[in-house]
Amino acid sequence: MGITDRLLNGKFSDVPHIPRKRAFLDSSNMIENPVAVMERYRKELGPTFSFHFGGAQQAVVSTEPEFLEVVLKHNKDMYVKSDIQTKHMVEFQGEGLVNIHGQAWLRQRKLVAQGFRPKRLADMLPMQFEILDQLMVGFEQQAETGTVDMHAQMVRFTLALVGKSIFGKAMTDDELQQIADTIAQIQAYIVEMIVQPYKIPWFRITGRADKYQQLRLAADKLVLKHIEARRAQGTGDADFLRILLDVPYHDTGKPMTEAQALIEAVQLMVAGNETSSNGLAWTFYLLGRHKSARDTVREEIDRVIGDGEVTFDKLYELEYTLQVIYEALRLYPPFWMIDRIALEDHEVLGVHIPKGAMVIPYIYGTHRNTDLWDDPETFEPARFNRENRKRHPFAYIPFGGGPRICVGNNMAIVNILLITVWIMRKWDFEGTEDVAISPMMLLRPDGGVHQRFTRR
């Protein structure tokens, strides 16, 4: 093979490989739907393969749980997060829990994780009940007049629920919407930078990069206003902002600075809002297409909760409802992939990983790996009943895996449970057309999830 052929092929590991020229030509398709491209590669080459991400970055992709466990857990210190988070996201979000490493990450994780303990989540429920009752007014008005776009409604629900769980009731709906709109625009821009990195100089020359920085600064100013007000008042709701500003670090005995609290609050907002809203949209999508599951969930909610008080413990007694949610997150994982960069040359289960190569735990493909799941394209909540839960711990990782698993995954599940209960104990619904996926930073429905509701 000549030099030109080697450059166009670009094979750098000992697994099946997509030629570099083909990967470059696929970069525009990656912007439209990266999962469609990755699924094509996976079905052609098998569970572990290599290609050049965006035609440039060496990348080894795997859907094998043993491989993922080594990368995300056993050899975690041999990897760092890629430029996607340590460069592009830092540019717009700053350095926080999501994109730092080592002892700084561990220190931050210990503090932030305190806000996600079961008691903290339970303490937030009264405030969340109040917010849900307000949200149901708008939902019911739309449900009475025709078809409901459940994705749009779930974005509205979780924006208020997650946003006010973080910032408190003092933040208005308009302010939350401004933050959410800014996040969505910046995320779309980051995806472009990731998939077509050769365009970054052009983005800077044309002023497009500066446009998104101005959006970020306006949103930061809004959040900082609430942080300063909270610091001045010294009081607040049972929300995450109180934890970020009041709880001291274990090593210094001092709380977080306002600047760091700003970064962490925005990062929690980014992760929390989208994981919950997308998880809910896909859950209702699947329930709308499976009457038996829908009826069983409704019967369980009536039996366990009925018209009585909703408590944290009762939410987790909804065993079948949880199985439905877990299966929805298997078919449509919020984090459809995650990434790491190798700090040195080494091997993972016999696969050569060059220094500087990206390793992609491809979660969407893992959840559809036929070596791990029977008939993986089929919706089957019973996969998650007590008898069927014995599987490799990295065969199912909708929120990532290892020590850096999403810190707010329990809050996302509670939010999905809460909203499902609030709607289904008052409303019946049915059917929806096929909905395609739109993989951005997280896995969204492409367009709406349209369903028709009737009052029970």
| Backbone φ/ψ region at 46: left (φ over 0), alpha (ψ -120 to 50), beta | left
Strand ranges for 262-414 from DSSP E: 340-342, 346-348, 351-353, 358-361
- What pLDDT, on a 0 to 100 scale, did the predictor assign at position 5? 47
- What pLDDT, on a 0 to 100 scale, did the predictor assign at position 2? 43
Decide if 354 is inside a domain. yes
Decide if 45 is inside a domain. no
- What pLDDT, on a 0 to 100 scale, did the predictor assign at position 168? 84
Decide if 9 is inside a domain. no
Decide if 7 is inside a domain. no
State how far the Cα of 234 lies from the Cα of 296, in Å rounded to an integer.
46
Decide if 248 is inside a domain. yes
Tell me which amino acid residue 357 is. A
Q: Are 393 and 65 in contact (CB under 8 A)?
A: yes
- What pLDDT, on a 0 to 100 scale, did the predictor assign at position 4? 47
Tokens 């932030």: give the residue. 112
Tokens 């934890």: give the residue. 243
- What pLDDT, on a 0 to 100 scale, did the predictor assign at position 7? 55
Q: What is the CATH number of the domain that holds 188?
A: 1.10.630.10
State how far the Cα of 200 lies from the Cα of 365, in Å rounded to an integer.
29
- What pLDDT, on a 0 to 100 scale, did the predictor assign at position 9? 75
Decide if 31 is inside a domain. no
Decide if 161 is inside a domain. yes
Q: Are 241 and 167 in contact (CB under 8 A)?
A: yes
Tell me which amino acid residue 156 is. R
Length of the chain counted residue by residue = 456
**Sequential pLDDT tens for the chain (456 residues):** 444 445 567 888 889 999 998 998 898 888 889 999 999 999 999 999 999 987 888 999 999 999 999 999 999 999 998 876 777 777 777 888 888 888 999 999 999 998 898 998 998 899 999 999 999 999 999 999 889 999 999 999 999 998 888 888 888 889 988 988 888 888 888 878 877 777 888 888 999 889 989 999 999 999 999 888 888 876 666 688 888 888 899 888 999 999 999 999 988 888 888 899 999 999 999 999 999 999 999 999 999 999 889 999 999 999 999 999 999 999 999 999 999 999 999 999 999 999 999 999 999 999 999 999 999 999 999 999 988 878 999 999 999 999 999 999 999 999 999 999 999 999 999 877 899 999 987 899 998 899 999 998
For 187, the domain range is 63-455
Question: Taking the CB of residue 219, how many other CB atoms lie within 10 A of it?
Answer: 22
* Residue 132 in tokens: 């849900």
The number of distinct structural domains making up the chain is: 1
pTM of the entire structure? 0.91
Decide if 13 is inside a domain. no
